[in-house]
Structure 1
């Protein structure tokens, strides 16, 4: 029964170290817990067995953890989890296409100071530079910046 407990503790420590390397790299919390559990298993071996068995368990545990570290770094496991793609698109890139400063339109909602206005056949969300603009008012574009349409009545 003592051997079962010892092997279980060492195996849990090794699994936690492997989990740190393979699944949650960079957090170090899981790896530290794994090393502490392994150290606890080694301490347990020295308590329950003679010194020779304790040293054998110590060397075996260190060797297994070292092999796990080397395997984790050399096997290309990192490439499976690494992000290789980048997002280059942006939202609303074509939102202001066809609009020009000075273009006239009509408010389709109250603009206080943000509302909706129609320019051509499209309805856009706009921001007023001159405060409240009631629905149905004629408006014109004063600025187009950062995907924002700034208007005045």
Structure 2
């Protein structure tokens, strides 16, 4: 009966270990449960079956974890789980083409670094160079870099 308990704990630990590595990223309940199962299986073997059986269980549990990891990585299961779709979308840069340096407008939202402004009767996303600007503040386009429209408070 003791051997069945140890085998069940090692199998559960290996399954939870694989789930932790390939399904649920990060440290989660599966990883903690795998650690608890493998630790308790080894403790149980040392406590109930003796030192010799304990070391054998320790060796078997290490080989089972490493072997299952190698087997799973070589199997086609990992290919079935992997994403194979390429991202083909592109950033919308139409606002950059319609706005030029020196254009003036008014902020439509509060610019806590980034917000929206109306420039040339178009609502565009802008970034404030002057820090926080309140809504309905007159602005002027000072730079356009990598699709980001940089504005400053317009001093009339």
1:34 aligns with 34
TM-score for both structures, normalised by structure 2: 0.53
2:90 aligns with 89
Give the number of equivalent residue pairs: 141
Q: Following superposition, which runs of at least 4 residues in structure 1 exceed 6 angstroms of deviation?
A: 125-129
Where structure 1 has 5 or more consecutive residues not aligned to the other structure, the ranges are none
What is the Cα deviation at residue 41 of structure 1?
0.9
1:148 aligns with 150
Tell me the SS of whatever aligns to 1:95.
helix
Rg larger in 1 or in 2? 1
What is the Cα deviation at residue 123 of structure 1?
4.9
TM-score for both structures, normalised by structure 1: 0.54
Tell me the SS of whatever aligns to 1:96.
helix
Deviation digits for residues 44-85 of structure 1 (CA, Å, limit 9, x no counterpart):
123223566545544433332232121133236555346874
Change (3 A) 1:152 1:73: same
Structure 1 or 2: larger strand share?
2
Write the distance in 2 (CA, Å) between the matches of 1:141 and 1:83. Answer: 44
What is the correspondence of 1:87-126 to structure 2 with a 5 Å cutoff? 89-90=90-91, 93-103=93-103, 116-117=117-118, 119=120, 121-123=121-123
Q: CA RMSD of the aligned region, Å?
A: 4.7
